[in-house]
Structure 1
Amino acid sequence: MEQQKKYWNKIENACCQLITCITALIRLVSKYVIGTYMHHIEYRPDAQPKTCKTLADIPGPRSLPIFGTRWIYWKFCLYKLNAVHLAYKDMFIRYGNIIREEALWNIPIISVKDRDFIERVLRHSGKYPIRPPNEVTANYRKSRPDRYTNTGLVNEQGEVWAKLRNKLTPELTSPRTIRRFLPEVNQLADDFNTLIGLARDGNNVVKGFESYCNRMGLESTCTLILGKRFGFLDGEVSDTATRLADSVTSQFRASQEAFYGLPLWKLFPTRAYKDFVASEDALYDIVSEIVDSALIDEQLSCTDVRSVFVSILQAPGLDNRDKKAAIIDYIAAGIKTLGNTLVFLLYLVAKHPDVQEKIYNEVLRLAPAGTAITAEHLHNATYLHACITEAHRYKHPALLTAISYFPENTYQFIVFSCPTFIYIYRLLPTAPCIARVLESDFEYENYQLPTGVILY
């Protein structure tokens, strides 16, 4: 027994020595290899292997089963549906540059505000970018085949979207169209300035300035798309113009409630869905009156102001229903974007009197009083261009939240008589809700964003 014990002790000692020799050999080889390798690269003793975080690690509001994070907009909860811009402003302060929310059934939705990253995502989109559709609009249009052949340019995907885009947008996006539209924009700007001048009180304060900007958005968008003035900038607005304005406002509100609220409209027609249907029907009826009148006109001519309208009506290979739907989409998309842009940019200019003075002097030098504004004037207004670019860079994520920076809904601006101001803003519309479904994996701030994630 004693001999057996000695035998196992010898084996144990031998094993220990063998392990010690192997360990020493490994250390020696490692030291040699690493030492040789470090002659060619910089050695960083604090370097650590990079590990990417997952979607689950992205900060955001607490998620509930099934309901996701939609509870934050419920009554008596954190945020309000009529102030979504304030909700995102607060969440970006709370959670940082990237936020994770969850839609119903806990589908993750990621929001970012980094312009460079957003640009990278947009540039890496495929031939047919995948955009989350507006479900309430798509659902309604599918239920009305008598009026719509598809869900429209904004909501369609793939080849159908590409066909609509190629046939309906060339004239609208052409620089030639903008140049031809310039004289009408000059008149629009003069009318807007006159309207603001009449709205000022004795202290140069304009109350409810946003509503006047929205009227400018309505008038300019309708003039560009429909080829005629509607009188939104006049003292008294016509009945048709009032119906159009009310329909657009109602459509936006109903879409917001349907988008952020519980989708009970999928089960039964909720109030929001009924309001949306009513506004969509009214828009369709108004546009139909204008389109049908133009189609009956045998002497339809493509004047400078009507070029976009005529190009849509004469687009080959499209049903008239597609053309009417495109006009409705263009009007709805253009009105609020221009209104928000005017509010935001004019606010920043008004907050910096020195910048305001430089802009005014540049414009006065290029186009003295009484001089018609031309494309060349706009091209040479370098300081004005720089200010607009800087304004978008400085607070671009706040484009949607412009209204929150005005205390008590009161605004004060110096009224310019130069129409250049308005024309430049028309070239830079606000797009507060750009979304993509990622078509490939992305990494942002050490977070791994997989294919198929919805990114706002």
Structure 2
Amino acid sequence: MSQFNKEKMFWSDSFSNLLVITIMIILLYFKNYFKAVYLALRLPGPPILPLLGNVLLVTNSKKMEAIAIKMPELYSPVMRIWISMIPFFLVYEPKHLQIVLGSNKYSTKNMLYSLLHNFIGDGLITNTGEKWKLHRKLIQPYFHINVLKVYFDAFFKYSTVMVADLEQETDVNVVKFANRFVLDVLQDTILGLPARTDQSPYRKGKLFMPYRITRPWLLLQTLFKRTEFSKQEAEHQVLLRNYTRKILENKKNSFGCSNSSVNNLMEMMIEISKENQEFTEEDIINEACTFMLAGQDSIGAALTFSLYFLALHQDVQDRVMDELKSILKGANRAITFEDVGEMKYLEQCIKETLRLCPSVPIIARVLTEDLSLGKYVLPAGANILVAPFATHRLPHVFPDPLKFNPDRFSTENKSQIHPYAYIPFSAGPRNCIGYKFALIELKTVISQILTKYHLTLAPGHEKLNFSYRITLKAKNGIWLRLRKRCEN
């Protein structure tokens, strides 16, 4: 046999093998897909529209809220939702969530997170597998409680600024003040920019993920790229990355030139990259973008909702004030990091706020193995939705679930709560890395505001209406009436 014929046979066999492997992969994918479809057709769920499925439900806040409240009696123990022709399975019971979230064995991030790649790149939110494990391992130590003390000066500084910004206000929508405060803190603690600026591109970002979910044909990247929204998203991503890259370059050039200590995450990540070549400059930019973008809406929403409930429940606000007076012992002085650690009842109030108003109301996963939940078997490859908003309203876990009751999280009571029944920061190995950061920041700013102002709800703005996007928001803002407290 000639050399030519041997090579021809080799390439022919290689192509045949590749074709067989490709066909097997496609068949395996569709096998799991059809398993998921078959199960979805047997499960209860909201009425669907042809081709669209339940996508219009996502834009209807009142219906979403009603379903979350009645879910246990209507759709137990698993509910199906269709995003176009893709079935999703909503799991909400704590014992089931412990399986889904408690180990990387059963689940990983699903297709919806890929829609964030265009905007924030490959950070802790969007990464999976070994890269995620490495980044989590390297960054986690910088969110230890002892390290978080470094950030307290920024929390206190911008809390004081926010209190001053509210000085001339009476009836005020606190959302814009809260968002300004949160961005100022993030610019300082993440990027190391201590001066306030209105020029930050992080102030102007817009995410088109919700828009794409409600128009399922745009989930296809090839179609989305043909839209004006794709162009806007790409332009803003370039703006964010160039802005962050310039800050990184300045930090690297000045790093080690002075005796000042490392006091922001950007500098901490530069230290990481020096000791770990796998953690590159692009990784630093991706993670900085992730923390800046993820932190804004989530902490801002938690702050405004907390202020709303304190204004609504005067007895709770009075108890918080009694606690603050006890901590400060009547002295007219600035709070300290140690003081924040003693604000136990205020922390209970924040936790109860996040129970009723979790900043991220939906978490998405995809199963990597078949998963048995009661009489149902969810197949590998199935898309899972976890709904903290619904789980936090389960009456057999939280009696009288719609009542605002911070004592649920008292020392005596919190031990009775299933560890996967309260998940505002997710749970398990992929929980939010910055939850302690957020709690300390929130306690610092809320204590500062309450020390200066007595809060009530502005007349005509008593009802809270939700808006569901990536994060949970107040549809018409949070309007408060501020009254200065008497100086002691």
Normalising to structure 2: TM-score of the pair?
0.61
Tell me, in whole angstroms, the C-alpha distance in 2 between the residues paired with 1:348 and 1:120. 33
Tell me, in whole angstroms, the C-alpha distance in 1 between the residues paired with 2:202 and 2:109. 31
Question: Is 2:68 the partner of 1:107?
Answer: no
Structure 1 residue 119, shift from structure 2 partner: 4.3
Number of the residue aligned with 1:455: 384
Number of the residue aligned with 1:374: 336
Number of the residue aligned with 1:225: 190
Q: Which among 167, 174, 193 is matched to residue 138 of structure 2?
A: 167
Structure 1 residue 211, shift from structure 2 partner: 1.9
Q: What SS is found at the alignment partner of 2:88?
A: strand
Tell me, in whole angstroms, the C-alpha distance in 1 between the residues paired with 2:116 and 2:347. 36
Q: Deviations over 1:104-143 (max 9, x none)?
A: 4x221123455564344211333984444523343678xx
Number of the residue aligned with 1:295: 252
Structure 1 residue 438, shift from structure 2 partner: 2.9
Structure 1 pair 220/118, CA: closer, same or farther in 2 (3 Å)?
Answer: farther
Question: Is 2:268 the partner of 1:308?
Answer: no
Q: Deviations over 1:294-321 (max 9, x none)?
A: 1222545585673422111222212211
Tell me, in whole angstroms, the C-alpha distance in 2 between the residues paired with 1:110 and 1:261. 20
Number of the residue aligned with 2:234: 277
Number of the residue aligned with 1:266: 222
Number of the residue aligned with 2:315: 354
Number of the residue aligned with 1:88: 64
1:393-412 equivalence runs, <5 A: 393=355, 395=356, 398-399=357-358
Residue identity matched to 2:130 = E
Number of the residue aligned with 2:325: 364
Tell me, in whole angstroms, the C-alpha distance in 2 between the residues paired with 1:119 and 1:347. 31
Structure 1 residue ranges (4+ consecutive) displaced by more than 6 angstroms after TM superposition: none
Tell me, in whole angstroms, the C-alpha distance in 1 between the residues paired with 2:301 and 2:343. 23
Structure 1 residue 359, shift from structure 2 partner: 0.4
Q: Deviations over 1:348-406 (max 9, x none)?
A: 1111101100101111210245433234323322222333333334x1xx33xxxxxxx
Structure 1 pair 376/79, CA: closer, same or farther in 2 (3 Å)?
Answer: closer
Q: What SS is found at the alignment partner of 1:118?
A: helix
Tell me, in whole angstroms, the C-alpha distance in 2 between the residues paired with 1:197 and 1:115. 44
Number of the residue aligned with 1:384: 346
Residue identity matched to 2:123 = G
Structure 1 residue 180, shift from structure 2 partner: 1.9
Q: Which among 296, 310, 326 is matched to residue 287 of structure 2?
A: 326
1:58-137 equivalence runs, <5 A: 58-64=43-49, 66-70=51-55, 72=56, 80=59, 85-93=61-69, 96=74, 99-104=79-84, 106-114=85-93, 117-126=96-105, 129-137=108-116
1:338-353 equivalence runs, <5 A: 338-353=299-314
Tell me, in whole angstroms, the C-alpha distance in 1 between the residues paired with 2:95 and 2:314. 30
Structure 1 pair 214/446, CA: closer, same or farther in 2 (3 Å)?
Answer: farther
Q: Deviations over 1:327-352 (max 9, x none)?
A: 11110111111111011111111111
Structure 1 pair 164/350, CA: closer, same or farther in 2 (3 Å)?
Answer: same
In structure 1, runs of 5+ residues without a counterpart are: 1-52, 73-77, 142-147, 232-237, 400-429
Tell me, in whole angstroms, the C-alpha distance in 2 between the residues paired with 1:302 and 1:54. 62
Tell me, in whole angstroms, the C-alpha distance in 1 between the residues paired with 2:216 and 2:228. 12
On the 8 A contact 1:100/1:111 being kept in 2, the answer is yes
Q: What SS is found at the alignment partner of 2:363?
A: coil
Tell me, in whole angstroms, the C-alpha distance in 2 between the residues paired with 1:111 and 1:128. 14
On the 8 A contact 2:100/2:106 being kept in 1, the answer is no
Tell me, in whole angstroms, the C-alpha distance in 2 between the residues paired with 1:331 and 1:86. 30
On the 8 A contact 2:107/2:369 being kept in 1, the answer is no
Instruction: State, as a whole percentage, how many aligned pairs show the same letter.
Output: 22
On the 8 A contact 1:168/1:312 being kept in 2, the answer is yes
Structure 1 residue 322, shift from structure 2 partner: 1.5
Residue identity matched to 2:383 = I
On the 8 A contact 1:179/1:375 being kept in 2, the answer is yes
Residue identity matched to 1:244 = Y
Q: What SS is found at the alignment partner of 1:197?
A: coil
On the 8 A contact 2:100/2:107 being kept in 1, the answer is no
Moved more, 347-356 or 272-281: 272-281
Tell me, in whole angstroms, the C-alpha distance in 2 between the residues paired with 1:444 and 1:228. 48
Tell me, in whole angstroms, the C-alpha distance in 2 between the residues paired with 1:379 and 1:153. 27
Tell me, in whole angstroms, the C-alpha distance in 1 between the residues paired with 2:131 and 2:264. 24
